[in-house]
Amino acid sequence: MPTASQGIESQASNGSGLDTFTSVTCPFCGLHCDDLEVRNSSGADAGHLTIARNGCERAARGFERRPPPSSPQIGGRDTDLATALATAARLIGGARLPLYGGLGTDVEGVRAIMALADRSGGVVDHHLSAAIQRNMGVLQTQGWIMSTLTETRNRADLVIVVASDLMTLHPRFFERIVAPAEAMFGGVPSDRTVVLVGDCGHADAITRTGVKHVVEIPSANDDIPVVLGVLRSMLKGTQLPARDDQRVPFNELADLALRCKRAEYGVFVWAPQALAFRDGDLAVQIVTDIVRDINKTTRFAGLSLGGNDGAASAASVCSWQSGYPLRVSFASGAPDYDPYRYDIRRMLEAGEGDLLVWTASFDPEAAPPATGLPLIALATPGMRFSREPDVLIPVGTPGLDHSGRLVRCDSVVSLPLRQLRPSRLASVTEIANAIAASL
């Protein structure tokens, strides 16, 4: 949740050779928690960041990672930035269908890559867009009723997590949203209950965040669509066949149906990247069906927690700039949306496109897929590739090496990022704009 001081530069020296920043926004998961306290060492250790307060495992890996020294390269050999930019511009200018993948950057970075793709007739796609499509197909075909992080924190008395290990993907969700110290309308409801449907990690880890009531409904994730279908039938009062399907925990689902009917404000929560099992998109559809049905008698909503690695920002910017969701081609001179044709991973496997431009400024593990196409990488230092890129330009991380903005996973607010350490690394925005100027 945004704090009162969010966006105001707050830096102080604590007298121990460290600079301390407060109200720092974390860029390393879609929650973008904005209450971190981060320290920057000085002297011989200048630039090394440590989290003093309010971090999590993902934040610690991101902020406290020590990027190795790096320089622009052509074919694995060091070069100067001007030469790397000129070579990248030459490759892009000569390509008939460049593919702009990864898109792990901030709002301004995505805008710059989109403009470059528009100018060069390329295709844009985020490396987590398969997860985004599990949501997008449902939104496009039938719509949905959604909550926000703030509304869930302040109003929900029942939180149902579907097949998503949120303690791994979004470690502070339970601490900040489900069991916060305070809520807008007074204290957090004492009977607020979390129900875990499917493989959602370990309940004991969730209770350690302060959640008092956790109920587990075990199920194999491949069976989640069936389980949700049975739950919907129970809520609608539909007569069920004989209860001899071992995949379905009928008694636990009957209890959950009763909880749903008694709830004053219930929220189904899922992380679309966790639904990478058979018919994961069907699970999203059934959840939205349940939400629509139950709103006839009480208040329910959904809450999707995607957005890691800048995915929510990429999806939002693509919609602003082109009028379409991700997976857009500019090859015709106008934006063309097709979630199947312009899936860059599928295009690479099919031998489509003649150049891959990969952007990854947050996570060194977000490397491009193996490809025989010429490769331009705008990457955070330390990334390992299946082969040396034709052009490698190291870039800074938004919120550490330069300022920026990121859209939160519920897509209702963009949060400002501040530069926390001196850095010689250029931003994705600067690199993309420089390449475009050379075309």
Percent of the residues in the chain that have a pLDDT greater than 90, as a whole number: 86
pLDDT at residue 3 in the model: 41
Average pLDDT, integer, range 337-359: 97
CA gap 266, 160 in Å, rounded: 8
pLDDT at residue 60 in the model: 96
Average pLDDT, integer, range 6-11: 44
Residue ranges per domain, the chain? 11-64, 73-128+309-438, 144-305
Q: Are 175 and 239 in contact (CB under 8 A)?
A: no
- Quote the mean pLDDT of the chain: 92
CA gap 417, 299 in Å, rounded: 35
Instruction: Give the fold, CATH level 3, of 73-128+309-438.
Output: Rossmann fold (3.40.50)
More confident residue, 101 or 6: 101
pLDDT at residue 197 in the model: 97
Average pLDDT, integer, range 79-100: 98
Q: Are 173 and 316 in contact (CB under 8 A)?
A: no
pLDDT at residue 11 in the model: 53
pLDDT at residue 282 in the model: 96
What is the maximum span of the chain, computed from C-alpha positions, in angstroms? 72
pLDDT at residue 15 in the model: 47
Q: Are 97 and 351 in contact (CB under 8 A)?
A: no
Q: Could you report the per-residue pLDDT of 349-403, keeping only the tens digit for each?
A: 999 999 999 999 999 999 999 999 999 999 999 999 999 999 999 999 999 999 9
Please report the DSSP string for 28-91 in residue order: SSTT----EEEEEE-GGGTT-EEEEES--HHHHHHHH--PPP---EETTEE--HHHHHHHHHHH
pLDDT at residue 4 greater than cutoff 60: no
pLDDT at residue 18 in the model: 63
pLDDT at residue 346 in the model: 97
Torsion, CA 172, CA 176, CA 177, CA 181, rounded to 10: 150
Average pLDDT, integer, range 135-154: 94
pLDDT at residue 5 in the model: 38
pLDDT at residue 14 in the model: 47
pLDDT at residue 19 greater than cutoff 90: no
User: With bands split at pLDDT 50, 70 and 90, how would you rate the model's confidence at 187?
Assistant: low
pLDDT at residue 47 in the model: 79
Token pair, residue 261, equals: 């009917």
Q: Could you report the per-residue pLDDT of 264-311, keeping only the tens digit for each?
A: 999 999 999 999 999 999 999 999 999 999 999 999 999 999 889 999
What does each C-alpha distance from 7 to 1, 49, 352 come to in angstroms? Answer: 13, 19, 43
Q: Could you report the per-residue pLDDT of 34-79, keeping only the tens digit for each?
A: 999 999 987 667 779 999 999 999 999 999 999 999 999 999 999 9
Q: Whole-prediction pTM value?
A: 0.91
Strand partners, 193: 158, 213
pLDDT at residue 2 in the model: 41
CATH number of 144-305: 3.40.228.10
pLDDT at residue 242 in the model: 66
Average pLDDT, integer, range 306-330: 95
User: With bands split at pLDDT 50, 70 and 90, how would you rate the model's confidence at 10?
Assistant: very low
Q: Within a 10 A sphere around the Cβ of 388, how many other Cβ atoms? A: 14
Q: C-alpha angle 226/138/245, rounded to 5°?
A: 0
User: With bands split at pLDDT 50, 70 and 90, how would you rate the model's confidence at 245?
Assistant: confident
pLDDT at residue 246 in the model: 79
User: With bands split at pLDDT 50, 70 and 90, how would you rate the model's confidence at 9?
Assistant: very low
How would you classify residue 210: left for phi > 0, otherwise alpha for psi between -120 and 50, otherwise beta?
Answer: left
CA gap 277, 222 in Å, rounded: 6
pLDDT at residue 42 in the model: 72
